[in-house]
A and B are shown apart, each in its own frame.
Chain A
Amino acid sequence: QKEVEQNSGPLSVPEGAIASLNCTYSDRGSQSFFWYRQYSGKSPELIMSIYSNGDKEDGRFTAQLNKASQYVSLLIRDSQPSDSATYLCAVNKENAGNMLTFGGGTRLMVKP
């Protein structure tokens, strides 16, 4: 089992729909969770961080964390073609200090 797992996609959604991206992790002691967006050929850009169970909203983005089930998700409301990118889930595992473990990424395609 990979430490951080994501469906590689592509996940295809129509413009204006809600895109739902999921990530599961294996280390139950993980404390910090991040979503990065990466456009093709560009560097990862931090879009959300979440540290406690529940939802965290920022504009069109909502991160959801469920530590009991060991998953974290990202919802993108009113998806736009400009949201088309690869979304990387990153986790700070217990006792990992300041290192992050990345999932393989999910490619999102938003079709006009």
Chain B
Amino acid sequence: DTEVTQTPKHLVMGMTNKKSLKCEQHMGHRAMYWYKQKAKKPPELMFVYSYEKLSINESVPSRFSPECPNSSLLNLHLHALQPEDSALYLCASSPLTSGLYIQYFGAGTRLSVL
């Protein structure tokens, strides 16, 4: 089982709204990631959590706030987003097994900012 579950599948929000994206995995993976993907582009890394600690923040604007409450759950809190933030947001997880570094992606959340 390599399932990473993301909710919601679709989200429409105004620029003044606050919303959250959720990601869950029960594979015992100890690394979780948030990516942003625009049309016809590869995924762009936003944040990495390793052993529930934020290890990578790729200079993401503060209107995106990640949270890792436990080893199975990852949230992305959104506030005061801009229309250019509209994209597919992907969560991934990895077992952190040395030398393998496989990442499994969830189905994504399609975000539209109006």
Q: Which residues of B contact A (CB under 8 A)?
A: 2, 31, 41-43, 45, 48, 50, 55-56, 88, 90, 94, 96, 99-108, 110
Given contacts A41-B110, A44-B43, A46-B105, 14 further A-B contacts (CB under 8 A): A31-B99, A32-B102, A34-B102, A36-B105, A42-B108, A44-B105, A46-B102, A49-B102, A51-B99, A88-B43, A97-B55, A98-B94, A99-B56, A100-B101
Shortest Cβ distance from residue A42 to the other chain B in the assembled complex, whole angstroms: 7
Once A and B bind, how many residue pairs between them come within 8 Å at the CB atom?
54
Q: How far is the CA of A51 from the CA of B101 in the complex (A)?
A: 10
* Residues of A with C-beta under 8 A to B43: 44, 88, 102
Shortest Cβ distance from residue B13 to the other chain A in the assembled complex, whole angstroms: 19
* Bitwise interface map of A from 17 to 53 toward B, beta carbon under 8 Å scored 1, else 0: 0000000000000011010100001111110010100
* Residues of B with C-beta under 8 A to A32: 99-102
Q: Which residues of A contact B (CB under 8 A)?
A: 31-32, 34, 36, 41-46, 49, 51, 88, 90, 92, 97-100, 102-105
Does B42 contact A43, Cβ atoms closer than 8 Å? no
Q: How far is the CA of A76 from the CA of B90 in the complex (A)?
A: 26
Residues of A contacting B: mostly? loop
Residue in chain B with minimal CB distance to A90: B103
Does A100 contact B103, Cβ atoms closer than 8 Å? yes
Q: How far is the CA of A88 from the CA of B41 in the complex (A)?
A: 10
Residue in chain B with minimal CB distance to A100: B103
Does B88 contact A43, Cβ atoms closer than 8 Å? yes
Q: How far is the CA of A76 from the CA of B100 in the complex (A)?
A: 23
Q: Which of B55, B90, B100 has the most CB of A within 10 A?
A: B100
Q: How far is the CA of A51 from the CA of B90 in the complex (A)?
A: 25
